[in-house]
A and B are shown apart, each in its own frame.
Chain A
Amino acid sequence: MSWRKIFAQGATVLALGLLDALGIWAFSSLLLRGEYWMAAGLSVALGLINWIYLSKRTYPLKYLIPGLLFLTLFVLYPVGYNIYIAFTNYGTGHILSKEQAIAQFESKFYLPPDTETFRYSVFQREGGTEFVFLFYPEDGPVLFARKGEVTPVDPGDQDFLDEDSDGVIDGVQGYRRLALPELVRNLSTLQAMAFPLGEKILRMTSLQEFSAYEHRYRYDPEADALVDLLSGTVYRPVEGFFTSPEGEILLPGFTIVVGWRNFFALVTNPQISGPFFRVFAWTFAYAFFSVLLTFALGLFLAYHLNNPYLRLRRAYRMLLIVPYAIPAFISVLMWRGFFNTEVGVFNQILYSLFGVKIPWLQDPFWAKVALLLNNLWLGFPYMMIISLGALQSIPEELHEAAQIDGASAWQRFWRITFPLLLVSLAPLLIGSFAFNFNNFTNIYLLTEGRPPIPGALTPAGSTDILISYTYRLAFEGQRGNQYGLASAVSILIFLIIGTISWINFRFTRALEEVSENV
C-alpha cells in the first residue's frame, strides 16, 4: 500500500471520527429533549454514513451521499412533512401538540376564596443571593422553604433559632433576615417564586402573606377530558380545542389531523372557495398571457435581429438583453415606483399627454395589466435569446423552395418558420408557463396580491396567484397563520406543476420524433 493510500484512509477515519463525535453529542442532546424520532433518524443516518465510508462495496455512494443527505433533509423530509401538515389544522391557536397543551393547562393555578394563608419571614445567607423562607401556618409546625423544597422544622434542630425566645422559630443559623425596605426592593423576584405544598403551591399574595394556590385544571386520561377544578366544568377535545358542553373553548388549542377538510374548505366553504377559484383562474391566465406576450415580442425582435442585412445586430442584442441581466427582485420594485398613481412616471406621462391618471395598483383590472406589462419587460429577452437560437437552426432551402412556389413572406413565416420553431421551442414555452405559474417575485413585490377581494375569509387578493396566496395564508393572515390550509394549496400547486411537467416530457419526446422527419 502506498503512502498516499494510507494517508487517504487516515483522513477518512479522522473525518468519520469527528462526524461521529458531533453526531453522538447531537444524539444525546436530542434524547434529553425528548425528540425521539429525530434522534432515531440521526442514529440511522450516522450508521449509514459509517457503513458507506468504511465498506468497499459502496464506493459510488461515497460521492453521492453528501448531496443526498441535503436532498433528504431539506427537500424530501419537508415535502413529506408538508403533506402531513396539509391534513392537520396546524396554525395559529393550534401550534402545540395535545400533550403540550395539557401540560400547559395543568401548570395553571388559581386562588380559592377560603385558602390557607401563611405569614412568613424571608432570609438571605450572608454574602449569598438565594432567598429562603420560614412560613407560619395557622396550626402545625413552622415550614422552612429553599430551592423549591418545603420541609417542616423540627423545634429541636440547632440550625433554627428562636431569637426572641417566645417559643416560635424566627431565625436560621448563618442567614440574615431581610428588613422591609430590602424586601420591597426585591418584590418582583419574590413574587415570581413558588413552592410546592402537596398538591398546592405557595405564592406571595401580599407583603404580609403567602397563600396556597390550587391546580386549576386536571386532565383525566381515561375520559380524555380536562376538568376545570374551579367551576367543575368538563372540557372535551373537539376540533383541536378543549370545549365545554356549552361550546366554550379553552386557549391554546392543539394540532389534530383533520383529514381532507382543508382541501374541502377550498372547494366548498363559500368564503374560502370563492376567492380561491378567482386566484386559481388568474394564476392560469397570468401564466398564459405572460408566455404569450413575452414570446410574441421576443420572437418578433429575434426575427428582425436574425436578418443578415441588418447593421448593428450585435449591439442591438446587447442592449435588448439588459432587463434579463438585472435581478428580478430589483427591477420589479423599480416598476412598482413607475406604477405609483400620484408620482409614478407612467401616470406623469399619461397625465401630461391625455390628462388621465390610471389607478395602476388600486384597481383589480389595471393591477393585472401592470403585472403583465412588467412581466413582458422581464421576460421578453429570454424569449428573444431562445428564438434566435431556434431561428438559426431552420434550413434555408425550405424557404427557397416555398419562394419558388410563389409563397409570400407572410405565408412563409406562418407556414414554415413558425411551425418549425415550435418544434424546438414548445418544451421551453411549457417550462416558462410552469415558471410563471409560480412567479412569486413578480406578483408579491409589485402588488403584494392586492387589491383585496372583498368578503374573503382568507387573505386573497385580485392579483394573487396560488404561490403568493399560499405565502400569505401561511405568514400574513389577519386571522393568524393557517399553515394547514397553506400546505393544502401547495400540494395542489405541485399536482398542477407535476402534470404540466409530465405533459412537457411526453410532448418533447413526441416532438423529437416529429423533428426527425423534417
Chain B
Amino acid sequence: MYRRPTLVGAIVRHLILWIAIVFALFPVVWILSASFNPTNTLVGQRLIPRNPSVGHYQELFTNPQHPFPIWIANSVKVSGLTALFTTTLTALGAYAFSRFRFRGRRTGLMALLLVQMFPQMLAMVALYILLLRLGGFIPAIGLNTHTGLILVYLGGALGFNTWLMKGYFDTIPRSLEESAMIDGATRFQAFTRIILPLARPILAVVFILQFIATYSDYLLASVLLTGVQRYTLAVGLRLFITGQYTTRWGMFAAASIVGALPIVLIFYLLQNQLISGLTRGAVKG
C-alpha cells in the first residue's frame, strides 16, 4: 500500500515523526533536566541547567523528612512477592485447567472471565472494612500492613493470567509428563520438574506483567496503607507535590527518575515478549 516517496514526501514524513517524538520525549527530558537543576523550582527552568548537580538524588536518599528509600523498598517488596505468589497460584490453576478433565471445568473457566469484569478496585470499601475487621484479631494482616495488601492483590491472581498460561500449557505435549510418571515420578513432580521448566517464558511474562501492575497500583495501596513508613512509591510520591509543589520540584523529579527506572529497564529488556502479551488483550491507556 506504500509507494516509493518523493524527496519532499520523505522529508515531510520524517518531520511529522520527529514532532511526535518531541511530544513523547519532552516530559521525560524536562524531568531529567529538572532533577539535575540545583534550584529546586520550576521557575526559569532551562533544558540544560546552569550548574548541574546530583544534590537532589543525594538528598532523596539521606533527607529523613521523606523515607524515599523505604518507599522504593516497600514497592519492590510488595510487587515482587505479589508477582511471585501470583505466578505460583496461576501456574497451579492453569495446570489443572489444562491437564485435567473434571466437572465444572468449562464453567470454571468462564466464571474466571466473568469475575474479572468486576475490577477489584470497585470493592475498595468492602476490602477496607474486611482488612479493618481482620486486623482486629490478626493484626499482621490488618490495615496498613504489607501482608494484608499482598493478600488482597492475590485475590485477583487467577483470572486473565490463568487463561494466558493455560494456553501455553496446552502447547506442551502430555507425553512428556506421562513418560516421567512411568519412570516413577508423582504427578506433582512431573509438573514441577518437567512442565514448569518448559513453561519458563510464560512464567516470566506473567511475573513481569503482575510486577508492573502492582508497582503501578495507586488506588488499593492508598486505601489500605495509612502510615507514611508503610507507603509504596505510588502513594508516597504524591506527598512531594501536595502542598509545596513548587519548592520540591527538583526532589520530585529525581524521585520520578529513580522510581521509574526499574520498570523502564524491565520494559526495554523484555519489550518484545511484553508486546506480544499485550496484543493478546492486556490494556493500558
Contact = CB atoms under 8 A, between A and B. Distances in A.
A331 interface: yes
Contacts of B48: none
Contact of B275 (A297, A316, A385, A444): A385
B278 A386 contact: yes
Contacts of A73: 151, 155
Nearest to B155: A74
B176 interface: no
A233 to B, nearest CB: 33
Given A63-B92, A75-B155, A486-B125, A81 B130 contact: yes
Contacts of A385: 275, 278-279
Contacts of A75: 115, 118, 120, 123, 155-156
Size class of the contact patch on chain B: 35 or more
B131 to A, nearest CB: 10
A436 B119 CA distance: 13
A62 B20 CA distance: 52
B256 interface: yes
A345 B253 CA distance: 14
Contacts of A438: 119, 121-122
A67 B86 CA distance: 8
Contact of B126 (A64, A79, A331, A475): A79
**Binding site of B, secondary structure by majority: helix, strand, loop or mixed?**
helix
A309 interface: yes
A322 B25 contact: yes
A338 B137 CA distance: 46
B126 A310 contact: no
B96 A64 contact: yes
Given A305-B17, A343-B41, A497-B119, A74 B246 contact: no
Contacts of A487: 125-126
A68 B131 CA distance: 19
A333 B23 contact: no
A334 B14 CA distance: 28
A310 B93 CA distance: 46
A245 to B, nearest CB: 34
A319 B130 contact: no
Contact of A325 (B23, B123, B267, B281): B267
Given A67-B92, A336-B241, A345-B30, A79 B123 contact: yes
Contacts of A26: 137-138
B172 interface: no
Nearest to B75: A327
A323 B264 CA distance: 10
A301 B20 contact: yes
B20 A326 contact: no
A44 to B, nearest CB: 17
A331 B281 contact: no
Interface string A455-497: 0000000000001001100110000000100110010011001
A371 B28 CA distance: 18
B186 A375 contact: no
Interface of B: 1-5, 10, 13-14, 16-17, 20-21, 23-25, 27-28, 30-31, 41-43, 45, 88-90, 92-93, 95-97, 100, 102, 105, 108, 115, 117-130, 133, 136-138, 151-152, 154-159, 162, 184-189, 212, 215-216, 218-219, 223, 233-234, 237-238, 241, 245-246, 249, 252-253, 256, 259-260, 263-264, 267-268, 271, 275, 278-279, 281, 283-285
